[in-house]
Amino acid sequence: MDYSRIKGIEALGDLAGKRVFVRADFNVPLQGTRITSDSRITAALPTIQLLLQKGARVILASHLGRPEGKGFEAEYSLAPVARRLSELLGFEVTLQSDCVGEQVRKGVLDVANGRATLLENLRFHKAENKGAEAFGRELASLAEVYVNDAFGTCHRADASMTWPARLLPCAAGLLVAQEVKALATVLTNPKRPCLAVLGGAKISDKIPLVNNLLSRVNEICIGGGMAYTFLKAQGHKIGKSLCDNEKLDECKAMLLKARQNDVTIHLPKDHVIAHGMDDETAHIDRGDIPDDFTTFDIGGKTALAFSNVILAAKTILFNGPMGVFEKERFSNGTRIVVNAIAEATQNGAFSVVGGGDSAAAAEHFHADKKMSHVSTGGGASLTLLQGEAMPALEALVGGI
Ligand code: AMP
Residue 173, ligand 1, Cβ within 6 A: no
The answer to whether residue 132 scores a pLDDT higher than 80 is yes
Q: What percent of the chain has pLDDT over 90?
A: 92
Q: What is the pLDDT of residues 201-259, one digit of tens each?
A: 989 889 999 999 999 999 999 999 999 999 999 999 999 999 999 999 999 999 999 99
The answer to whether residue 372 scores a pLDDT higher than 80 is yes
Q: What is the pLDDT of residues 21-67, one digit of tens each?
A: 999 999 999 999 999 999 899 999 999 999 999 999 999 999 999 99
Mean pLDDT of 111-136: 98
- How far is ligand 1, taken at its centre, from the CA of residue 58, in Å? 41
- How far is ligand 1, taken at its centre, from the CA of residue 322, in Å? 7
Distance CA 88, CA 26 (A): 14
- How far is ligand 1, taken at its centre, from the CA of residue 336, in Å? 16
The answer to whether residue 377 scores a pLDDT higher than 90 is no
pLDDT for residue 281 = 78
- Alpha-carbon dihedral sign for residues 79, 357, 200, 1: positive
pLDDT for residue 288 = 83
The answer to whether residue 1 scores a pLDDT higher than 90 is no
Predicted confidence band of residue 355 (pLDDT cuts 50, 70, 90)? confident
The answer to whether residue 282 scores a pLDDT higher than 80 is no
Pick the range with the lowest mean pLDDT from 58-67, 173-182, 290-299, 373-382.
Answer: 373-382
Mean pLDDT of 143-150: 98
Distance CA 306, CA 222 (A): 9
pLDDT for residue 286 = 79
Predicted confidence band of residue 9 (pLDDT cuts 50, 70, 90)? very high
The answer to whether residue 117 scores a pLDDT higher than 80 is yes
Residue 223, ligand 1, Cβ within 6 A: no
Q: Would the CATH topology of 3-176+390-397 be identical to that of 192-348?
A: yes
Catalytic residue numbers, as ranges: 40, 202, 356, 379
Which CATH homologous superfamily contains domain 3-176+390-397? Phosphoglycerate kinase, N-terminal domain (3.40.50.1260)
Tell me the average pLDDT of the chain: 96
Residue 354, ligand 1, Cβ within 6 A: no
Output the residue whose Cα is nearest ligand 1's atom 5: 200
Pick the range with the lowest mean pLDDT from 134-143, 224-233, 375-384.
Answer: 375-384
The answer to whether residue 378 scores a pLDDT higher than 90 is no
pLDDT for residue 283 = 81
Q: Where are the domains of the chain?
A: 3-176+390-397, 192-348
The answer to whether residue 285 scores a pLDDT higher than 80 is no
Instruction: Tell which CATH architecture fits domain 192-348.
Output: 3-Layer(aba) Sandwich (3.40)
